[in-house]
């Protein structure tokens, strides 16, 4: 990990979970989906530069210092504040980035996306959601980032994003994700399946029980998911019966009304540079091959895709600047009129 120059994606702001005028909620979680408290560095210190997955987390430090109840209390208070802030709004837009994406670069993309949306500051709220997808500038470190980030994305969804969704009632929620951000979204909407080794390691090293997440509340929301370059596959939609060892497709909340994804069989990251790997090593073939979406439509008839084939880049900024993305926003009735 050290040799590849991998670092954690952490906030630069001492108050990363905050509100910005006129209608922005900032939400930042660590590798286990815990929300960074106010002035977090003073209490929790700076994560190691090595990107070691077991050396640091908010709950790990809180446990060592006897601050578990304080951390959980901050999260509870924060979610109540979010619920209060959006109470009078009609729609909530939630942006979710992918892996290997530092927060400053992500925010530039978020700001560009915000300008593409037809927003009413009195009726709409924008949530900028940040999670620890790790980061490296070393081209040889990408694979190591990928394997850790796949589990972190599930934790960010099951504990972080789901906590946010549970604080929102009777709204139209539009989730716009990129790359492995699709896993964050899906893990928030349905329980993820973790490997036994990851679950044990997370409990022992971080005092976080992967099975202790609250279920998604049926809060009367209407949820639309727009997934750009979704770096997930069929298995991400399946849950395992630990008694029988069999897999079955998960049942999504009745609040989920639509999932609109992109397909791009020229995206070099989604095909892992050689296409036959797209459904291996933690599958990314949903965003790569249309037949995966076709299979999922049998179980989730509200799914559809837009074909981005021809664009080789996997970059967040390239996807949101592709004219087809604006077409997708127009199809959902949320694009600015220009």
Residuewise pLDDT in 10s, the chain (338 residues): 344 578 899 999 999 999 999 999 999 999 999 999 999 999 999 888 777 889 899 999 999 999 999 999 999 999 999 999 999 999 999 999 999 988 889 999 999 999 999 999 999 999 999 999 988 877 555 667 777 888 899 999 999 999 999 999 999 999 999 999 999 999 999 977 788 888 999 999 999 999 999 999 999 999 999 999 999 999 899 887 767 778 889 999 999 999 999 999 999 888 763 333 334 446 788 999 899 999 999 999 999 999 999 999 999 999 999 999 999 999 999 999 86
290 part of a folded domain: no
| 225 Rama class: left (phi>0) / alpha (psi -120 to 50) / beta | beta
Domain span at residue 83?
19-243+250-255+320-331
- Tell me, what's the pLDDT at 276? 37
- Tell me, what's the pLDDT at 279? 44
| 220 Rama class: left (phi>0) / alpha (psi -120 to 50) / beta | left
**Cβ-based neighbour number of residue 220 at 10 Å:** 11
Q: Which residue has the tokens 């199809």?
A: 331
Bridge partner list, 270: none
185 part of a folded domain: yes
- Tell me, what's the pLDDT at 280? 42
Q: How far is CA 53 from CA 20, 42, 151, 185, 328, in A?
A: 31, 21, 11, 22, 37
Query: pTM above the 0.75 mark?
Result: yes
Bridge partner list, 176: 95, 226
- Tell me, what's the pLDDT at 338? 65
291 part of a folded domain: no
Bridge partner list, 223: 173, 256
Residues 252 and 300 sit within 8 Å (Cβ to Cβ): yes
1 part of a folded domain: no
CA distance 165 to 255: 11
* Total domains in the fold of the chain: 1
- Tell me, what's the pLDDT at 242? 66
| 171 Rama class: left (phi>0) / alpha (psi -120 to 50) / beta | beta
- Tell me, what's the pLDDT at 285? 86
12 part of a folded domain: no
294 part of a folded domain: no
Kindly report the CA angle at 261 between 258 and 263, in degrees rounded to 5? 155
- Tell me, what's the pLDDT at 261? 98
106 part of a folded domain: yes
- Tell me, what's the pLDDT at 56? 93
105 part of a folded domain: yes
Kindly report the CA angle at 293 between 290 and 296, in degrees rounded to 5? 155
Q: How far is CA 33 from the centre of its chain?
A: 10
Both tokens assigned to 110: 């978020």
Query: If you ran DSSP here, which 8-state letter would residue 47 be given?
Result: P
Indicate if the alpha-carbon torsion angle 227, 232, 234, 238 is positive or negative.
Answer: negative
């Amino acid at each position: 990990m050290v040799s590849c120059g991998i670092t954690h994606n952490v906030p630069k702001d001492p108050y990363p979970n905050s509100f910005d005028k006129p209608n922005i909620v900032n939400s930042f979680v660590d590798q286990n989906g815990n929300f960074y408290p106010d002035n977090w560095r003073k209490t929790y210190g700076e994560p190691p530069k090595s990107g070691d997955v077991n050396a640091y987390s908010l709950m790990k430090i809180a446990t060592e210092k006897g601050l578990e109840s304080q951390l959980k209390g901050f999260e509870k208070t924060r979610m109540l504040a979010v619920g209060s802030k959006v109470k009078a709004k009609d729609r909530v837009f939630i942006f979710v980035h992918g892996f290997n994406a530092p927060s400053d670069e992500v925010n530039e993309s978020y700001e560009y996306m915000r300008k593409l949306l037809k927003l009413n500051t009195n009726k709409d709220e924008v949530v900028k959601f940040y999670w620890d997808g790790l980061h490296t500038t070393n081209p040889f470190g990408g694979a190591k980032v990928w394997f850790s980030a796949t589990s972190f994305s599930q934790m960010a969804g099951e504990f972080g994003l789901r906590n946010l969704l549970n604080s929102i009632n009777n709204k139209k929620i539009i989730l716009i994700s990129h790359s492995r951000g699709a896993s964050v979204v899906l893990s928030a909407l349905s329980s993820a399946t973790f490997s036994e080794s990851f679950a044990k390691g997370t409990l022992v090293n971080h005092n976080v029980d992967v099975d202790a997440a609250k279920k998604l509340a049926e809060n009367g929301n209407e949820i639309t998911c727009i997934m750009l370059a979704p770096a997930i596959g069929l298995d991400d939609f399946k849950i395992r019966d630990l008694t029988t060892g069999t897999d079955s497709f998960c049942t999504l909340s009745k609040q989920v009304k639509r999932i609109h994804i992109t397909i791009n069989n020229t995206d070099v990251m989604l095909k892992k540079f050689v296409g036959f790997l797209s459904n291996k090593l933690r599958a990314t073939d949903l965003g790569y091959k249309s037949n995966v979406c076709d299979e999922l439509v049998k179980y989730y008839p509200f799914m559809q895709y837009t074909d981005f084939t021809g664009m080789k880049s996997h970059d967040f900024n390239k996807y949101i600047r592709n004219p087809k993305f604006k077409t997708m926003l127009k199809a959902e009735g949320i694009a600015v009129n220009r």
